Amino acid sequence: MTTAALIATLVKIAVFFGITISLAAVSTLFERKISAWIQQRYGPNRVGPWGVLQPLADGLKFIFKEEVAPAGANRLLFRLAPAMAAAPAFMTVAVVPFTFPLILDGTRIPMAIADIDIGVLFFMAMGSLAVYGIMLGGWASNNKYSLLGGLRSSAQMISYELAMMVSVITVLTLAGSMNLTRIFEAQIPLWNIAVFPVGTIAFGIFLIAAFAETNRHPFDLAECETELVGGFHTEYSSMKFALFFLGEYSAMVMMSGLITTFFLGGPSLFGLVNGIEDPWIKVLAGLGVFLAKVCFFLFLFIWVRWTIPRFRWDQLMHLGWKLLLPLSLANLLLAGTLVATGVL
Amino acid sequence: MSAEILAFLVLATATVAGGVVTLWSRYVVHSAFGLMLSLLGVAGFYVLLGSDFLAVTQVVVYVGGVVVLYLFGVMLTPPDREERSIRRIAVAGIFAVAALVVLLKAVFGMEGRWYGVDPDRGPASGGAVIREVGNAFMDKEAYLLPFEIASVLLLVALVGAVFIARREGGRGS
Amino acid sequence: MDYDFASYLRDLRTIGPELILCGTILVLFLVDLWRIGRNRTISWVLAPLVTFAACYGLYLVPATTGIDVDLWPEFLGLTAVYAVVTVADLRWRGRDRWVPGAVAVIGAALACLRLWQQGVEVFGEGAAAFSWGGLVRVDAFGVLLRGLACLTLLVTSWFTIFYAPMRRDPGAKGVTEFLACLAAAAAGGMFLVATENLLFIYLSLELLSLCSYLQVGMLKGDRRSSEASLKYLIYGSVASGFMLFGFSLLYGFSGELAIPKIGQFLQTMPRHSPEGVLMTVGVLLSFSGFAYKLTLVPFHFWAPDVYEGAPTPTTAFLSVGSKAVSFGIMLRFLHMLTGDIVWAPGLVHLAALAAVVTMTYGNLAALHQSNLKRLFGYSSIAHAGYMLLGVVTVFQFMEDPATGLLREGRFFGEGYAAVLFYLGAYLLMNLGAFGAVIFLANRTGSEEIEDIRGLGWKSPWVGGAFIVFLLSLTGIPPTAGFFAKWYVFRAAIDGGFLWLAVVAGINTVISLFYYFRIGRMLFLRDGSEAFFEAPRAPWLAAVLLLLAFGTLWFGVFPGAAREVAAEAARSLGW
pLDDT single digits (tens) A101-143: 888 877 888 888 888 888 888 888 888 888 888 888 888 877 7
The answer to whether C256 contacts chain B (CB < 8 Å) is: yes
Q: Are B65 and B71 in contact (CB under 8 A)?
A: no
pLDDT at C345: 65
pLDDT at B42: 93
The yes-or-no verdict on residue C90 having pLDDT over 80 is no
The answer to whether B87 contacts chain C (CB < 8 Å) is: no
DSSP C237-300: HHHHHHHHHHHHHHHHHH---BHHHHHHHHHHSPTT-HHHHHHHHHHHHHHHHHHHHTT-TTS-
Which sign does the torsion angle of CA A222, A227, A232, A236 carry? positive
pLDDT at C440: 86
- The verdict on whether omega for the bond into residue C165 sits within 30 degrees of 0, i.e. cis, is no
Of B107, B153, B163, the CB nearest to C174: B163
The answer to whether B27 contacts chain A (CB < 8 Å) is: yes
Mean pLDDT of chain C: 81
Phi, then psi, of A182 in degrees rounded to 5: -60, -40
Residues of chain B with C-beta less than 8 angstroms from the C-beta of A77? 29-30, 33
DSSP C306-341: HHHHS-HHHHHHIIIIIHHHHHHHHHHHHHTT-SS-
Residues of chain C with C-beta less than 8 angstroms from the C-beta of B171? 36, 171, 173
Can you say how many angstroms the Cα of residue C557 is from the centroid of all Cα atoms in its chain?
A: 23
Residues of chain A with C-beta less than 8 angstroms from the C-beta of B65? 128
Which sign does the torsion angle of CA B28, B29, B33, B36 carry? positive
Judging contact as 3 or more Cβ pairs under 8 Å, the answer for B and C is yes
The answer to whether C128 contacts chain B (CB < 8 Å) is: no
Contact C220 B155 (CB under 8 A): no
Contact B71 A154 (CB under 8 A): yes
pLDDT tens column, A186-238: 888 888 888 888 889 999 999 999 988 887 778 777 666 666 766 777 777 77
The answer to whether B60 contacts chain A (CB < 8 Å) is: yes
- Distance between CA atoms of residues C124 and C147, nearest Å: 17
Contact C210 B156 (CB under 8 A): yes
CB pairs under 8 A between A and B: 72
The yes-or-no verdict on residue C406 having pLDDT over 70 is no
Side-chain half-sphere CA neighbours of A54 within 13 A: 16
Interface probe with B: pick from C207, C208, C230, C285, most Cβ of B within 10 Å? C207
CA distance B106 to chain A (A): 36
pLDDT tens column, C542-562: 999 999 999 999 988 888 888
Contact A118 B130 (CB under 8 A): yes
The answer to whether B23 contacts chain C (CB < 8 Å) is: no
Q: Chain B: residue nearest A118 by CA?
A: B126
- Distance between CA atoms of residues C507 and C485, nearest Å: 11
pLDDT at A149: 80
Contact B59 A129 (CB under 8 A): yes
Helix, strand or coil, per DSSP, at residue A108? strand
Angstrom distances, CA of residue C249 to CA of B19, B66, B106, C256, C276: 20, 24, 12, 11, 11
Q: Is the ipTM of this complex over 0.95?
A: no
Q: Chain C: residue nearest B112 by CA?
A: C275
- Angle separating helix axes C198-216 and C274-293, nearest 10 degrees: 30
Burial B124-160 (b: 16+ CB within 10 A, else e): ebebebbeeeeeeeeebebbbbbeebeebbebbbebb
Which residue has better confidence, C204 or A215? Answer: C204
DSSP strand pairing (C129-131 vs A102-104): unpaired
Where do the domains of chain A lie?
A: 63-340
Contact A125 B36 (CB under 8 A): no
pLDDT tens column, A280-310: 888 888 899 999 999 999 999 988 888 888 8
Quick one: DSSP state of residue B59?
I
Contact B72 A132 (CB under 8 A): no
* E runs forming strands in B22-155: none
Q: Chain C: residue nearest B170 by CA?
A: C173
In sequence order, the 6+-apart residues with CB closer than 8 A to the CB of C410 are none
pTM for the full model? 0.87
Residue C55 identity: C
Of A129, A151, A177, the CB nearest to B127: A177
Judging contact as 3 or more Cβ pairs under 8 Å, the answer for A and C is no
Q: Are C164 and C441 in contact (CB under 8 A)?
A: yes
Interface probe with C: pick from B113, B156, B158, B166, most Cβ of C within 10 Å? B156
pLDDT at A217: 76
Which residue has better confidence, A142 or B12? Answer: B12
